[in-house]
Amino acid sequence: MKKKILVSILAVVLAVSCIACFTACQDKNKTDAEYILEKGTLICGITLYEPMNYADDEGEMTGFDTEFAQEVCNRLGIEAKFQVIKWSSKETELNSKYIDCIWNGFTVTEDRKANITFSQSYLNNTQCVVVKNNNLAEYTSADYCNGKTCAVEDGSAGATAAEGLTTGSNITASAAQMTALTELSSGNVDFAVVDIVLAQSVVGVGDYSNLAIATAIELESEEYAIGFRKGSDMAEKVNTVIDAMIQDGTLLTIAQKYGVDQQLIQ
């Protein structure tokens, strides 16, 4: 009797294993777009910062990239979901399928192209130097930053830009761009390097009313795009939707709502 029960248990285990193996093989044979469209959700890896992705007064996700992603997904017949990630681990999160894309003011670089498939670029940006109001007059050139302490978001384009301004030992890597600004506002560093799209939204108001953009220091321009897994065919499908949103004016309308219409690439 015990032998029959053991045989039955082994048979069930073998059957479950075969089903799991068959399912895994099926998933492996799917393209990235098929995988995403069939599960019905696009999980967007983000950090929280205005005006791209942030929580409104009711705690609901809002922002330019938020509404942009929601509209794209709506046209593809799927749902956009947003997952806050550690920015320095974004590529690991993407490749492990914890997220399906990086959609959060993501700067296109040649180094990133080696591991990521980007959508078409949709927004112009630049990194900028942010300082305390009472020090603004001193920051007349990039040379003045040399030897000063700086806060950046770990793994960001701002972190790369900061390396050309001051020595590495003076750079504090923060978990997010907003944290970098908090470090500066609290007096823990001399300046911060963040996206100008962010700086123009929050610097000079509220908790950051004591900060200002050092406009005399100009850093290289860059472009935002959506980052997908390397070789993903989802980028092409999203590009088709983006083109349609540009043509019908929807993307411009969303950009105007969040004050980034002047940076929009059309």
pLDDT at position 27, please?
57
Give the containing element (helix H, strand E) for 98: none
Tell which residue, 116, 123, 135, 91, has the closest CA to residue 196. Answer: 123
The structure's pTM equals 0.85
Question: In which band, very low, low, confident or very high, does the pLDDT at 151 lie, cut at 50, 70 and 90?
Answer: very high
Question: In which band, very low, low, confident or very high, does the pLDDT at 7 lie, cut at 50, 70 and 90?
Answer: very low
Residues of the chain with CATH 3.40.190.10: 48-124+224-263, 125-221
Burial of 202 (0-12, 13-18, 19+ CB in 10 A): buried
227-255 per-position pLDDT tens digit:
999 999 999 999 999 999 999 999 999 99
pLDDT at position 29, please?
84
59-87 per-position pLDDT tens digit:
999 999 999 999 999 999 999 999 999 99
pLDDT at position 16, please?
45
Reduce the DSSP state of residue 140 to 3 states and report it. coil
Give CA–CA dist 222/123, Å, rounded.
Answer: 9
pLDDT at position 5, please?
47
Question: In which band, very low, low, confident or very high, does the pLDDT at 91 lie, cut at 50, 70 and 90?
Answer: very high
DSSP secondary structure of 147-208: T--EEEETTSHHHHHHTTTS-GGGEEEESSHHHHHHHHHTTSSSEEEEEHHHHHHHTTSGGG
pLDDT at position 10, please?
47
What is the fold of 125-221? Answer: D-Maltodextrin-Binding Protein; domain 2 (3.40.190)
Q: What is the mean pLDDT of residues 38-48?
A: 97
Question: In which band, very low, low, confident or very high, does the pLDDT at 124 lie, cut at 50, 70 and 90?
Answer: very high
Percent residues over pLDDT 70 in the chain: 89
Listed range (21-25, 109-113, 119-123) with the worst mean pLDDT? 21-25
On the question of pLDDT at 30 being above 50, the answer is yes
Phi, psi of 222, rounded to the nearest 5 degrees: -150, 180
On the question of pLDDT at 17 being above 90, the answer is no
Q: What is the largest CA-CA distance in the chain?
A: 89
pLDDT at position 140, please?
97
On the question of pLDDT at 19 being above 60, the answer is no
Percent residues over pLDDT 90 in the chain: 88
pLDDT at position 181, please?
98
Give CA–CA dist 158/126, Å, rounded.
Answer: 9
Question: Regarding beta strands 150-153 and 221-229, do their DSSP bridges make them parallel or antiparallel, or are they unpaired?
Answer: unpaired
What is the fold of 48-124+224-263? Answer: D-Maltodextrin-Binding Protein; domain 2 (3.40.190)
Question: In which band, very low, low, confident or very high, does the pLDDT at 171 lie, cut at 50, 70 and 90?
Answer: very high
